């Protein structure tokens, strides 16, 4: 019996999702693309799961679309040779990850190439092993991205750096990605999962309704012009904050003060 292409391990309110095609560098086969979409749909429907960690088995995070499969599957190229079709049953993994209302922490353990790069950019927080590297090879393969890379990357690191990466296909090291502000931090390989789990624990410590609500507010505003985003924030916060009482704020303030003492001691 073959191994499942994706593994899900639940630890309390956190789900650890592992791409599990290590011998293929976790390349996005049709089966894996569908499995990612279905997994995050199930996690969104699970009331016990509020944070997800996404990583890869073996040495790679994800090597992008499975080009070997694409080269031999006419249905993956539009059936009549009419272009690459990376959706499965009208789903793609990036959109499905984006529909998960809680934070998704990307534990980037190795290379994240092209479609794998887009998968990483679908996460809310990126923690990299020092072994991680990024590359956008769309132009070298001869296709254009369809999961957001051409727009997200320039917003994350600036248009000039994004053009350098996408128009050359060159690799970006974890250290350089950190310097450019693409990721949150770089850690030793053996510290990667522990760091991500601690971040998940920290996130789960906030007021529950704020975890998904604040993430949604940031994402919505990020897709709008600045003036519109400020209006969105005002409208959303005015509605949400009406239900927060003074007693609740006072009680939570004590916890914040105590946590601040622990983090500075």
- DSSP state for residue 149 in the 8-state scheme: H
- Cα 44 to the chain's mean position, in Å? 14
90: its two tokens: 């009208």
The model's confidence at residue 223, banded by pLDDT at 50, 70 and 90, is: very high
Write the pLDDT tens digit of every residue in 38-62: 999 999 999 999 999 999 999 999 9
| CB contact at 8 A, 134 and 120 | yes
Kindly report the pTM of this predicted structure.
Answer: 0.90
Instruction: Please state which of the ranges 29-43, 68-82, 110-124 shows the lowest mean pLDDT.
Output: 68-82
- Judged by average pLDDT, the poorest of 19-33, 39-53, 246-260 is 246-260
CA pair distance 169, 172, nearest whole angstrom: 9
Give the C-alpha separation, 83 to 179, whole Å: 36
CATH (one of 3.90.226.10, 2.40.50.180, 3.40.50.300, 1.10.630.10) for 6-204: 3.90.226.10
> Residue 73: its pLDDT value, please?
54
Instruction: Write out pLDDT tens, residues 96-105.
Output: 999 999 999 9
The bridge status of strand 6-11 relative to strand 14-19 is antiparallel
Every domain of the chain and the residues it spans: 6-204, 224-264
Q: Give me the chain's average pLDDT, please.
A: 90
Specify the length of the chain in residues. Answer: 265
Residue 140's Cβ-side half-sphere holds a number of Cα atoms within 13 Å equal to 13
- CA 98 from chain centre, in angstroms, equals 8
């Amino acid at each position: 019996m073959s191994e499942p292409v994706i593994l899900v391990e639940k630890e309390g309110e956190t789900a650890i999702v592992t791409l599990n095609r290590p011998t293929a560098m976790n390349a996005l086969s049709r089966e894996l693309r569908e499995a990612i979409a279905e997994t995050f749909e199930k996690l969104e429907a699970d009331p016990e799961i509020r944070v997800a960690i996404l990583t890869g088995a073996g040495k790679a995070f994800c090597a992008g679309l499975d080009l070997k499969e694409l080269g031999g599957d006419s249905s993956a190229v539009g059936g009549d040779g009419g272009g690459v079709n990376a959706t499965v049953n009208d789903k793609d993994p990036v959109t499905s990850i984006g529909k998960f209302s809680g934070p998704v922490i990307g534990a980037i353990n190795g290379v994240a190439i092209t479609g794998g790069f887009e998968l990483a950019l679908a996460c809310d927080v990126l923690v990299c092993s020092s072994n991680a590297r990024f590359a956008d090879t769309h132009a070298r393969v001869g296709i254009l991205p369809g999961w957001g890379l051409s727009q997200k990357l320039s917003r994350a690191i600036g248009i000039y750096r994004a053009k350098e990466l996408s128009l050359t296909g060159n690799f970006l090291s974890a250290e350089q990605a950190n310097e450019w502000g693409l990721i949150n931090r770089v850690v030793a390989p053996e510290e990667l999962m522990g760091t991500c789990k601690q971040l998940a624990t920290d996130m789960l410590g906030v007021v529950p309704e704020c975890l998904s609500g604040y993430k949604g507010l940031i994402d919505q505003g990020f897709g709008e012009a600045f003036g519109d985003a400020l209006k969105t924030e005002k409208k959303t916060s005015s509605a949400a904050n009406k239900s927060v009482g003074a007693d609740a704020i006072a009680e939570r303030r004590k916890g914040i003060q105590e946590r601040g003492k622990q983090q500075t001691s």
